[in-house]
Amino acid sequence: MPDPGDAYYSDEETRANFASRPLRGLDVNQIWLLDRHLLWAAYQRQRFEAAFPGSTPPGDDSAWMGEEWFVSFALWAALLWVVIEGFNDRGLQLGGRLAEDVAALEPTLRGFRHAVFHVSQRSHHDPRLFKFLGDADNVARISRVSEGMAGLFWHEGEERKREGKLPPD
């Protein structure tokens, strides 16, 4: 079993993730709709990765929730769930370890997304945020899923070019 802390899939796992070509049957406009949200998530990931080094670690208070690194992380993770939801809504089946990671994220990432995009009536310490953040493997998982999803779009584009369905670069 690969180390769950790895933020990237191995070459073998990547091939298994792409094997089923889940985007094959989608119209190119549907691909763009999904990819748009993945691009927004990737932008927030870049902001998180740029802001995180040298940031102040979370303390006992919740002031860190207003820090740029956390805001970018929260938006990245929440937008990634939106892409996963878009795959689910379209009946797209993922394969390989990508499917396993999405399944492992689903119980807590959905609630995290809701806590990010909906103002809670519960408490400032919304349990949906902390349930997701409480699993130390989730950061590595969302990194892998982000990379894996981006790879699916790239791979599908390459396959469509090879099949003559898209013009070559």
**Structural domain includes residue 19:** yes
**Structural domain includes residue 53:** yes
**Structural domain includes residue 168:** no
**Structural domain includes residue 169:** no
Please report which confidence band the pLDDT of residue 2 belongs to, taking 50, 70 and 90 as the band edges.
very low
How confident is the model over 2-11, as a mean pLDDT? 71
**Structural domain includes residue 6:** no
pLDDT in tens, 78-125: 999 999 999 999 999 999 999 999 999 999 999 999 999 998 877 777
**What is the full DSSP assignment across the chain?**
---TT-SS--HHHHHHHHTT-TTTTS-HHHHHHHHHHHHHHHHHHHHHHHHSTTPPPP-SSSGGGGSHHHHHHHHHHHHHHHHHHHHHHTTPPP-HHHHHHHHHHHHHHHHHHHHHHS--SS-SS-HHHHHHHT-TTHHHHHHHHHHHHHHHHHHHHHHHHHTTSS---
What domain count does the chain have? Answer: 1
pLDDT in tens, 24-71: 999 999 999 999 999 999 999 999 999 887 766 666 667 778 788 889
pLDDT in tens, 135-150: 989 999 999 999 999 9
| Residue 113 structural domain | 11-162
**Structural domain includes residue 66:** yes
pLDDT score, position 58: 64
